[in-house]
A and B are shown apart, each in its own frame.
Chain A
């Protein structure tokens, strides 16, 4: 029965063998499914359902991926740096703003409802406005990515910072810790999971921001490449560019995870 995978009748008898089979299956099935999709794709191209302009065979994409390596990398690097820059700015401003909102009650009551309201604005629609404000260069994408990533970071961080266990806060209060000490020594370490949830959402949005910014107007970068290649019917190139973007996104996520890991380590050894 599909619903009860762990309670299969073998589990007592062939424990290790069963475990090994499950691990093998869990690894092989997704890879197999992916290969199946690739094979199906290849087959569909072979029997010429769609013209190659619409759907090039996987081998074409791989060709472009390998042959145009340096060209693709150059564009990816620009997008990568813009994403990183926008995200770092958003993270600094976002966590800073969340701290301000946590420490000062006046600031919280003034800003917090407005922040929540501000989230309702479909920020994606603001992309052309940033081009108007910051020009065609990287600045507009940087500012736009930051603007997009800022709100989830502020909301998640301030949720985490304000919901520290009140007993700890009261204890530190009675031990005459001032509010900055409480903020950095107590609230901040406890809020780390919340902050990083916000940062992960923020990172996704920063990447979206840069790519949409490049769609709207850019002369280089991976978003430009995708939109340019697809409008000139170089579908294989567009797909290869998407693969590179996936790579850039993965690297960014791994960096963020490494940062989370180090920060957690620092705060766990400190106490």
Chain B
């Protein structure tokens, strides 16, 4: 589920792609043969200004193109809006239902954030325990990895059964679904500390606790942060799936109700709101990472 990790990595690599660099910095015709992608058809000469804007212009134009074709086709074919509403309808639904949408944000966002916070704290505690004793790690870690394979969403109805149809079940499920990446990454991070450092600490008679707090923990922070980014996304998924199964409020509930009434424009507007909430959380984790990095960097 580490789609975000891949995205960031690939973007970095894309930026350092030699083809892109040669195209972006406006080399003249001699260099063009090096661009392997279009050797057969010579590209018309465009001025460098447009070429610099190309990486921004093309995707935006493409997106706008798709949206306007969508809008146009829906109008021309008179397609039922219940199945595919035009983009303007979605925007309209977003504005018309802003109060309902805003009212339902706290239920979803609060539970997701709560589950994420519990998962982070509990996950760190479990990883520390597994670092404390190698036997504990050897006993439980393989089981946790094996447990990972079951699609964890399958447990959602069980949480409803165990914790009732209230907020607790969704909180429990969000915690459950988002704790695994934290445990796995954090344990890997705590165990992957530089062995020479550990040996140095041992020869300086540092206690287990001192080694953990001063050496292992700072070393495992990058692992923790990359896991937290996955984890916050999973917590959102957990809450939404929980709301699909049973709830009386929240954005997932709103989607389900709107889809049941065939108000597709409201469904898409809600998805858009969810998108922004997710982005906001992701940004929050990113900000936390930056702050802690600066703090530990000194």
Contacts and interface: CB of A to CB of B under 8 A. Distances in A.
A162 B256 contact: no
A133 interface: yes
A182 to B, nearest CB: 7
A193 interface: no
B138 A128 contact: no
A215 B151 contact: no
B63 interface: yes
B138 A26 contact: yes
Looking at B7, B135, B142, which has the most chain A CB atoms within 10 Å of its CB? B7
B154 interface: yes
Interface in A208-261: 208, 211-212, 215-216, 222-223, 226-227, 229-231, 233, 235, 238-239, 241-242, 245-246, 249-250, 253
Interface stretch (B93-101, B118-126, B235-243, B287-295): B235-243
B55 to A, nearest CB: 6
A225 to B, nearest CB: 10
Interface string A154-180: 011011001100100110010000110
A70 interface: no
Interface in A73-129: 103-106, 109-114, 116, 119-122, 124-129
B157 A122 contact: no
A169 B143 contact: no
A155 B211 CA distance: 39
Contacts of A151: 3
Interface stretch (A29-37, A58-66, A262-270): A29-37
Contacts of B143: 30, 33-34, 37
A61 to B, nearest CB: 12
Contacts of A129: 255, 259, 264, 267-268, 271
Given A33-B139, A33-B143, A212-B244, A124 B237 contact: yes
Contact of A163 (B13, B140, B156, B240): B13
B22 to A, nearest CB: 11
Contact of A105 (B18, B35, B270): B35
Interface in B42-84: 54-55, 58-59, 61-63, 82-83
A132 B82 contact: yes
Contacts of B157: 215, 226-227, 229-231, 238
A253 B146 CA distance: 12
A25 B199 CA distance: 25
Contact of B37 (A105, A119, A127): A105
B204 interface: no
A122 B271 contact: yes
B6 A179 contact: no
A201 interface: yes
Interface in B1-54: 1-4, 6-7, 9-11, 13-14, 17-19, 23, 35-39, 54
B279 interface: yes
Contact of B139 (A29, A113, A132, A235): A29
Interface in A1-39: 1-5, 25-26, 29-30, 32-34, 37
B113 interface: no
A122 B36 contact: no
Looking at B142, B193, B198, B199, which has the most chain A CB atoms within 10 Å of its CB? B142
B208 to A, nearest CB: 8
Given A26-B138, A30-B143, A126-B271, A212 B23 contact: no
Interface in B202-247: 202, 208, 211, 233, 236-237, 240-241, 244-245
Contacts of B191: 3
B142 A112 contact: no
B161 A122 contact: no
A111 B133 CA distance: 49
Contacts of B14: 112, 162
Contact of B59 (A112, A124, A198, A215): A112
Contacts of B195: 3-4
Given A54-B161, A103-B37, A182-B36, A215 B3 contact: no
A52 interface: no
B244 A216 contact: yes
Contacts of B63: 114
9 contacts: A26-B138, A30-B139, A116-B7, A128-B267, A132-B264, A173-B36, A211-B151, A235-B161, A238-B157
- 6 shortest A-B CB distances, which residue pairs? A128-B259, A33-B139, A230-B157, A159-B10, A113-B59, A30-B142
Interface of A: 1-5, 25-26, 29-30, 32-34, 37, 54, 103-106, 109-114, 116, 119-122, 124-129, 131-133, 151-152, 155-156, 158-159, 162-163, 166, 169-170, 173, 178-179, 182, 197-198, 201, 204-205, 207-208, 211-212, 215-216, 222-223, 226-227, 229-231, 233, 235, 238-239, 241-242, 245-246, 249-250, 253
